[in-house]
Amino acid sequence: MGDYSKALEFYEKDLEIKKKALPPNHPDLASSYNNIGLVYNNMGDYSKALEFYEKSHQIREIALPSNHPDLASSYNNIGGVYNNMGDYSKALEFYEKAHKIKEKALPSNHPSLASSYNNIGQVYFNMGDYSKALAYSKKDFEITKQVLPENHPDLAFPYKWFGKIYRSMKDYSKAFDNFEKCLSVRQKVLPENHPYRATTYSDIGDVHRLMGNYEKALEFHQKALNIQENVQCNPLDCALTYINLGETYREMKDDSTALTYFEKGLEIREKKLPKNHPDLAVIYHNMAKLYLATQKYSMAMKNIQQAVEIAQEKLPSTHPHLLEYKETFEKSLLAQLLRS
């Protein structure tokens, strides 16, 4: 149910006991470090997650053969943190190391290989290569649907990823269908206030916005917030819902409400993410568009410059987001020049 503080407390007690009883390079200590890293990752504290995953990995490198499945798991976890931190080339490097071990050790339809395809697909998605992302997600799904029963909770993940990819490819009907499938699975297996249900509501809300159904969008985002503001969840998920709400209100031309939600989302992202994270560029771009529409041109320029700088540093030159940011930059510059 997402009670991360209790999990952390339990794992830290477990680690203290093991430290007293075991030698410093014992594999059971690696498992404890790994568990703590996992909780920090779910809480959105990525620097702490990386610290504990690396402690776990250092022990495993010493204690295990180079093709051991637990090493693949370590590479995978470290790759996941780099992905969350917006360092996509490093994420891909670690995910591919994990995948090489798995390919040699496992049958071609093993669920762990499906997970590996999904992870690599996620990085390609974040790098803006949506066709590659879709290809890897399909490989993941081909295995997943063979090995899992129809309503297994893990089936929700490929549906969610298909939804995200199709949304980015602007195929909103396919995006909507996949998010609905994701929600259907989660409604059957998760409690009403589970954080995963909240993220799915927000995903559906965002597609409604993109299709111009603003009232529906607000309804789904509010459902998400009703969960996220009342249970312990990853603050970055809550930030995304605030930003989605901000975009909806911006498109409805309710500028003051839009700004309120953008600022809430920005505050969380600035607190939780590295200063050059691509997700910060997204919110700077959203705010630039809002300031441009309200003729606050200097604020628009400040925000769009930040977005472009981050994207140029962290994203491939062909990434659709970078191209959008450059277009908004040109519009802001032109508006400022015309004004002066």
pLDDT number for residue 1: 42
Torsion of CA 216, 221, 224, 226, to 10 degrees: -100
Domain with 301, as residue range(s), is 275-340
Which tokens sit at 74?
Answer: 């370590």
Res. 212: pLDDT tops 80: yes
Contact present, 201 and 220 (Cβ < 8 Å): yes
Half-sphere exposure of 301 (CA within 13 A, CB side): 10
Compute the distance between CA of residue 32 and CA of residue 30 in angstroms, rounded to an integer.
Answer: 5
pLDDT band at 28 (very low <50, low <70, confident <90, very high): confident
Residue-wise pLDDT tens digits, 256-296:
999 999 999 999 999 999 999 999 999 999 999 999 999 99
CATH of the domain at 311: 1.25.40
Contact present, 81 and 92 (Cβ < 8 Å): no
Give DSSP secondary structure letters for 178-226.
HHHHHHHHHHHHS-TT-HHHHHHHHHHHHHHHHTT-HHHHHHHHHHHHH
Compute the distance between CA of residue 306 and CA of residue 55 in angstroms, rounded to an integer.
Answer: 34
Spell out where the chain has E strands: none
Which residue did the predictor score with more confidence, 163 or 108? 163
285 assigned to some structural domain: yes
Half-sphere exposure of 244 (CA within 13 A, CB side): 30
Domain count of the fold of the chain: 1
pLDDT number for residue 27: 80
pLDDT band at 23 (very low <50, low <70, confident <90, very high): confident
Residue-wise pLDDT tens digits, 182-205:
999 999 999 999 999 999 999 999
330 assigned to some structural domain: yes
Q: Residue for token digits 């995978």?
A: 76
303 assigned to some structural domain: yes
From the CB of residue 157, how many other CB atoms can be counted at a distance below 10 Å? 19
Contact present, 241 and 250 (Cβ < 8 Å): no
pLDDT band at 22 (very low <50, low <70, confident <90, very high): confident
pLDDT band at 2 (very low <50, low <70, confident <90, very high): low
Residue-wise pLDDT tens digits, 303-325:
999 999 999 999 999 999 999 99
321 assigned to some structural domain: yes
338 assigned to some structural domain: yes
308 assigned to some structural domain: yes
pLDDT number for residue 29: 87
Half-sphere exposure of 37 (CA within 13 A, CB side): 26
What is the mean pLDDT of the segment spanning 69-83? 93
325 assigned to some structural domain: yes
What is the mean pLDDT of the segment spanning 55-73? 90
All residues at 6 or more sequence positions from 92 whose CB lies less than 8 Å from its CB, including other chains: 79, 120, 123
Give the mean pLDDT of the chain: 93
All residues at 6 or more sequence positions from 57 whose CB lies less than 8 Å from its CB, including other chains: 30, 71, 74, 75, 78
Contact present, 195 and 237 (Cβ < 8 Å): yes
pLDDT band at 340 (very low <50, low <70, confident <90, very high): low
Compute the distance between CA of residue 226 and CA of residue 220 in angstroms, rounded to an integer.
Answer: 10
Which residue did the predictor score with more confidence, 112 or 218? 218
pLDDT band at 114 (very low <50, low <70, confident <90, very high): very high
283 assigned to some structural domain: yes
Q: What is the pTM of this model?
A: 0.85
